[in-house]
Amino acid sequence: MSADRLSGAAPRTFALAITGASGALYAVRTMAALLERECHLEVVISDYGRRLLLDELGERAAVPQLRAFLIEKYGEAAARGSFEVLSNKDLGATIASGSHDCEGMVIVPCSMKTLAGVAHGLSRNLIERAADVMLKEKRRLVVVARETPMSLPQLKNMVLCAEAGAMILPAMPAFYQMPTSLDDLADFMAGKILSALGLAHSLYPKWQG
């Protein structure tokens, strides 16, 4: 049992949103990596995010089975933390308020539609509202944008988010760590996200020069 659990300290809490861009593998790897570090996750999944989980990872990754899927794929360590899935329609959920104790948020992957909503502060759903809360409270917001090629409005929306304080962390895995599988690429992206959220990890070998 960790020192935090023994001392009764509250777990580190993050919001994690999954939207309908390609890259569901990045989302589940990031979830598992945060859970392995005993975090509590407040998870919101858009309708198209749910569809992409199924399309790209199969029925086993359907939201009601997500916990079992993560443990089966990434091992028992993924059971160390906890998570709850909040409705994207519920603008009265915990993470819709700045007074809630949630230290940061990642949107992984982030569609161009959700990017636009965040860039313009629309708060049309819980994902956009929680992102808006992160920006107004000056907390960490990591936007794992995915589209190719990108239009000028999409590029401008990334600039708007960056100017407002978000970190744009595009779904662009590197190849210098010599990946041999899709899981290696997902490890790299999850590692970058954990670093952006301020968490130590060893998800990929650090560059030694």
What beta strand segments (E) does the chain contain? 13-18, 40-45, 82-86, 104-110, 140-145, 167-168
Tell me the closest approach of the beta carbon of residue 20 to ligand FMN, in angstroms: 3
Residue from 147, 168, 177, 199 binding ligand FMN (CB under 6 A) = 147
Question: Residue for token digits 């409005």?
Answer: 153
48 binds ligand FMN (CB under 6 A): yes
Shortest Cβ 132–ligand FMN spacing (Å): 15
Site membership for ligand FMN, residue 19 (CB under 6 A): yes
First-to-final CA distance of the chain? 36
Footprint on residues 167-196 left by ligand FMN (CB under 6 A): none
Q: Answer yes or no whether residue 161 interacts with ligand FMN by CB under 6 A.
A: no
Which residues fall within 8 angstroms of residue 27, CB to CB, at 6 or more apart? 16, 18, 49, 53, 108, 109
* Least CB distance to ligand FMN at residue 54 (A): 10
Residue 40: what residue type?
Answer: H
Q: Which residue lies nearer to ligand FMN by CB, 131 or 203?
A: 131
Q: Is 157 in the site for ligand FMN (CB under 6 A)?
A: no
Per CB under 6 A, does 30 bind ligand FMN?
no
Residue 168 corresponds to which tokens in the numbers above?
């744009």
Calpha distance 177→86 (Å, rounded):
35
Dig out the tokens for 1 from the structure. 């049992």
- What is the distance between the alpha carbons of residues 54 and 63, in angstroms, rounded to a whole number? 9
What is the C-alpha to C-alpha distance for residues 197 and 193, in angstroms, rounded to an integer? Answer: 6
Per DSSP, 68 falls in state: H
Count of residues that interact with ligand FMN, criterion CB under 6 A? 15
The nearer residue to ligand FMN, 153 or 205, going by C-beta atoms, is 153
Judged by CB under 6 A, the residue of 12, 49, 61, 66 near ligand FMN is: 49
Binding-residue pattern over the window 85 to 124 for ligand FMN, x denoting contact by CB under 6 A = --------------------------xxxx----------
Query: Which residues of the chain form contacts with ligand FMN (CB under 6 A)?
Result: 19-22, 46, 48-49, 52, 55, 111-114, 146-147
